Structure 1
Amino acid sequence: MDWSAMLALFGSFFLMLVLGVPISFAIGISSIISIAMVLPFDATLAVVSQKMASGLDSFTLLSIPFFILAGNIMNRGGIALRLIEFSKVLAGPMPGALAHVNVIANMLFGSISGSAVAAAAAVGGTMSPLQKKSGYDPVYCAAVNITSCPTGLLIPPSNALIVYSLISGGTSIGALFLAGYVPGLLMGLGVMLVAGVIAKRRNYPVSERVSLADAWTITLRALPSLGLVVVIMGGIVAGIFTATEASAVAVVYTLLLALVFYGELTVRELPKIILESIMTSSMIMLLIGASMAMAWAMANADIPYMISDALMGISENPIVILLIINVILLVVGVFMDMTPALLIFTPIFLPVAKDLGMDPVHFGIMMTFNLCIGLCTPPVGSALFVGCSVSGVKIDKVVKPLLPFFVVLILCLLLVTYIPQVSLFLPQVLLGYQ
């Protein structure tokens, strides 16, 4: 084990984060510094460039820009409003019904767009004025929107699960997608439980029951949007196309939906949408490429083995070790966004999970669920910033109201961690995954 290389890697990485260096550059530069401790500088540059290039040479990665493009098309194509109307039908006359509508709409829109931030902005931006008009506390509404928008990172299609599949050595994307459904629904139901209890105590208004005729009309309008989930997951489960091919199908489907069926998107808007998608995809790809170099640097310094030995030295009880991993990831999620956290810590903790006999699909869902909570926490939680922005509330005002939601989300995380069938039931039944 090369302690100097390990200290150089993590020391330089965290120093650059403190100095405000963009995380992709921090990962790449710290990897170069670490590898240069054991190899000549010209060989170091060759290794880093080769690892970055080989890490991006993956057919699976094509799905990320396609799903991002499909999500951006949905954001401009009038999908959110129709899903919110459909969510009102599902929520029914419950205490704090508009809060439940917010959660359900986030689950639907987030699962279709694959983006927590997009869901927080689109759904929260639409729901916030309606909730204020009905007498809801804006801080309460912001807390509900913030904690429910990450559900779309578990309910497929999810770019986070695609990234995990790549970095974990090719874990089945189809199995990961199916495994995310129940935990994603569990997360949403947990938020609804807390929101309902608070709404009952504050006597928030109950929405009027939607008539059967209106419910039928609203459902018909929303069906084309919901059909995307059926097309993608149905095609993957039936073996008609791979997850990567499904992403291209999603782009074609959403284009037809937004341009032709709903008619709320024009051809003139497409260049801007494509440019935004390219920029987002480029940032993610740079992160992935740099993280491949860091993964090699960590393996070269035997860091995963060191951490595995350290955890096993604390306890050989799987319950204790998984609890420690979850605590570490919760702390990491507070200070780091999901994608870099997945890229950096999957190679560290996945070998430990495998040594405990944990299925890689189960571990991927546990890790993603854990890091979803970090999106809602200060100081770097992207869902927190967007949720507060669209609700018009200050971050310091919403932190305390978020605490009961965090408690329930952590309890749900423990269920996902210690009951494998929560994640593995659907892949085993529908795909025969073993």
Structure 2
Amino acid sequence: MIDFFAAHAIGTAIAVIVALSLMGHSVGISMVAGSLIYLLAKGYDPSLAPETLLQGLFNGYTLLAIPLFILAADIMNIGSLADRLLRFSQALVGRFRGGLGHVNVVSSLIFSGMSGSAVADAVGMGKIIINMMTKDGKYTPAYAAAITAATATVGPIIPPSIPMVLYAIVSDQSVGYLFAAGLAPGLLMALVMALMNYWIARRRNFPTDEAVPLRDLPAITYKAAPALMLPVILLGGIYGGVVTPTEAAAVAAFYALFISVTFYRSVNLRQFYTALLGSARSTAAVGVLVAGAVTFNYVIAREGVPHAIADWLGQYEFSRTGFLIVINLLILSLGMVLEGGAILLIIVPILIPSVQAMGIDLVHFGVIAVVNAMVGLITPPYGLLLFIVSNITRQPVGKIIREVWPFIIALIIALGIITFVPDFVLFLPRLLGYQG
């Protein structure tokens, strides 16, 4: 029996991970358990490899950016920043056909420059914009939920971005260059979703929102200006060499708290405590996922899985275009059943040797991987964002899925441009000194 488990250790580990995940346990805990089974079956010291790797990872300076960006997003959600940003977006684009749909896109685009998280975007801005869209029956709750989930995918593409930080850790690439590489793709994703919303609005005769008089625009902009300055401060500090991305995350958290307390006067001590508690829970969840991924990555490295996959792909002599198509299909398929962080921490490291062998730039590949993972957040059957907006609207997930498909198609078109036009992605990083 012992010899059987030793010979089939990797298969047993994967079976344990799948079984525990289906039973409702977190992916991180499931991976730790599966990895422990593997180490015991192989007769390895079960504490040496994960302990060494985890110590090295959690001593990593870059990883500190994640809890700080989470805290910044939570502070924004408890303050009045979301309301002011929505009012500003409404003044800009609400007057067009399908206006509140466009407001949804623009507000997510702006908020993404602050939070770095799709979930924070959907929860923070989503509750408010969905109520605005469904008020007086202007939009169906299912459509409001679908476009809110779709636009939230922009959050981790526009810098700052928590998934980009995770990718930087596993690929040893610059967080700053990854942030820069995400800017143009994020704008493209917002554009295709706005066009899709306009097309649907024309077909279904969605209403225009009440036009905000131009004379009121300066006052609305003034009230939103402190919030709008956060992305400017973050990106200006990073690319100006004033702060590192991790330090920028600390600046973001402090700035969000400062303007919420002093300028907007919308956060009290009890709310701040709630934000700290929520960010601690979210950080712990990410930490467990990272711990499980690092431990399981040790397992797949011992089994030689990355090299085996590289050899397997090499048998088919893919062109670069064919290889990228296969990679996109693979990650999109995995996104239907896996959470985005798990894909970036487990699957992507396995693919990196093959990506390098094909001569594909790792910053470009990072953007491709993150966009794929974000599209997976709205792709059934898993689609984490679909469940979040379903909970907000009390709409069946099936109804939301029917409404979200046009936006998935629009995002896949954007993904095609991002994948096969690398200069579109790398143009800005190269302006900032990237040599790739």
Task: Give the TM-score, by structure 1 length.
Answer: 0.95
Q: 1:174 aligns with which of 169, 173, 176?
A: 176
Range moving further from structure 2, 274-283 or 4-13: 4-13
Structure 2's unaligned 5+ residue stretches are 1-5
Aligned residue type for 2:141: P
* Cross-structure match for 2:149: 146
- Distance in 1 separating the partners of 2:47 and 2:32: 10
The partner residue of 2:160 within 147, 157, 168 is: 157
For 1:18-33, list aligned pairs within 5 A.
18-33=22-37
- Cα distance in 1, alignment partners of residues 119 and 10 from structure 2: 34
Distance in 1 (alpha carbons) for counterparts of 2:378 and 2:210: 31
1:299 lines up with 2:301 in the alignment: yes
Is residue 2:8 matched to residue 1:4?
Answer: yes
Once the two structures are superposed, the pairs formed by residues 353-432 of structure 1 within 5 Å of their partners are 353-432=355-434
Please report how far the alpha carbon of residue 382 of structure 1 lies from its aligned counterpart in structure 2 after TM superposition: 2.0
Identify the range of structure 1 (119-128 vs 62-71) with the bigger mean alpha-carbon deviation.
119-128
Deviation, structure 1 residue 287: 1.5
Q: Where does structure 1 lack aligned partners over 5 or more consecutive residues?
A: none
Report the Cα distance in structure 2 between the residues aligned to 1:39 and 1:208, rounded to whole angstroms. 69
Native 8 Å contact 2:379 2:408 kept in 1:
no
Deviations 1:54-81 (A, max 9, x none): 2212111111111111111010111111
Work out whether residues 86 and 103 of structure 2, in 8 Å CA contact, stay in contact via their aligned partners in 1: yes
Deviation at 1:83, TM superposition (A): 0.8
Q: Which amino acid aligns with 1:155?
A: I
Whole-angstrom distance in 1 between the partners of 2:343 and 2:362: 17
Counterpart in 2 of 1:228?
230
Q: Distance in 2 between matches of 1:15 and 1:209?
A: 54
Q: CA contact under 8 A between 1:111 and 1:151: conserved in structure 2?
A: no
Amino acid paired to 1:366: I
Deviation of the 1:337 alpha carbon: 1.0
- Percent identity between the two aligned chains: 33
**Alignment partner for residue 333 of structure 1, among 332, 335, 355?**
335
Alignment of 1:19-418 (within 5 A): 19-40=23-44, 43-132=45-134, 133=136, 135-168=138-171, 170-418=172-420
- Tell me how far apart the structure 2 counterparts of residues 291 and 9 of structure 1 sit (CA, whole Å): 13
**CA offset digits 1:225-273 (Å, max 9, x no partner):** 0111011110000000100111111111111111110000012322221
Q: Is the contact between residue 164 and residue 364 of structure 1 (CA under 8 Å) also seen in structure 2? A: yes
Higher mean C-alpha displacement, 214-223 vs 109-118: 109-118
- 3-state secondary structure, aligned to 2:308: helix
Would you say the 8 A contact 1:312–1:321 is kept in 2?
no
Q: Deviations over 1:189-220 (max 9, x none)?
A: 11111111010111111234322221111111
Give the Cα–Cα distance (whole angstroms) in 2 for the partners of residues 373 and 53 of structure 1.
32
After TM superposition, give the deviation of residue 172 of structure 1 in Å: 0.3
Give secondary structure in 2 for the equivalent of 1:36. Answer: helix
* Letter matched to residue 364 of structure 1: G
Give the partner amino acid of 2:401.
V
Say which is worse superposed, 384-393 or 230-239, in terms of deviation.
Answer: 384-393
Among candidates 15, 18, 43, match of residue 14 of structure 1? 18
Alpha-carbon distance in structure 2 between the residues aligned to 1:9 and 1:413? 33
Amino acid at match of 1:145: T
Residue 20 of structure 1 deviates from its aligned partner by 2.8
Distance of 2:395 and 2:143 partners within structure 1: 10
Q: How many residues align?
A: 430
Q: Distance in 2 between matches of 1:128 and 1:17?
A: 31
Shift of 1:422: 2.2
Once the two structures are overlaid, the 10-residue window that deviates more, 151-160 or 278-287, is 278-287
Task: Find the aligned partners of 1:164 and 1:254 in 2 and give their Cα distance.
Answer: 25
SS at match of 2:378: coil
The farther-off stretch of 105-114 and 327-336 is 105-114
TM-superposed CA distance for 1:92, in Å, is 4.7
Mapped to 1, the partners of 2:385 and 2:421 lie a distance apart of 27
Report the residue type matching 2:157 in the other structure: L
Distance 1:398 1:166, change over 3 A: same
2:17–2:31 Cα contact (<8 Å) kept = yes
* Mapped contact 1:96–1:206 kept (Cα < 8 A): yes
- Residue by residue, what CA displacement relative to the aligned partner does 1:334-360 show, whole Å, maximum 9, x if unpaired? 111111111101211111111111111
Q: d(CA) in 1 for partners of 2:121 and 2:409?
A: 22
Residue pair 1:155, 1:184 contacting (<8 A) in 2 also: yes
Alpha-carbon distance in 2 for matches of 1:47, 1:359: 30
Offset of residue 322 of structure 1: 1.4
Give the Cα–Cα distance (whole angstroms) in 1 for the partners of residues 12 and 319 of structure 2: 32
CA distance in 2 between partners of 1:392 and 1:37 (Å): 46
> Separation in 1 of the partners of 2:23 and 2:314?
34
* Secondary structure of residue in 1 paired with 2:46: helix
CA contact (8 A) 1:237 1:431 kept: no
**Cα displacement (A) at 1:10:** 2.6
- Distance in 1 (CA, whole Å) between partners of 2:425 and 2:10 is 34
CA shift for structure 1 position 5 = 4.1
The Cα offsets for residues 260-309 of structure 1, whole Å up to 9 and x where unpaired, read as 10000012322221121111111111211221121121111100011111
Larger deviation, residues 97-106 vs 372-381: 372-381
Q: Counterpart of 1:123 in 2: which secondary structure?
A: helix
2:122–2:148 CA contact under 8 A, matched in 1:
yes
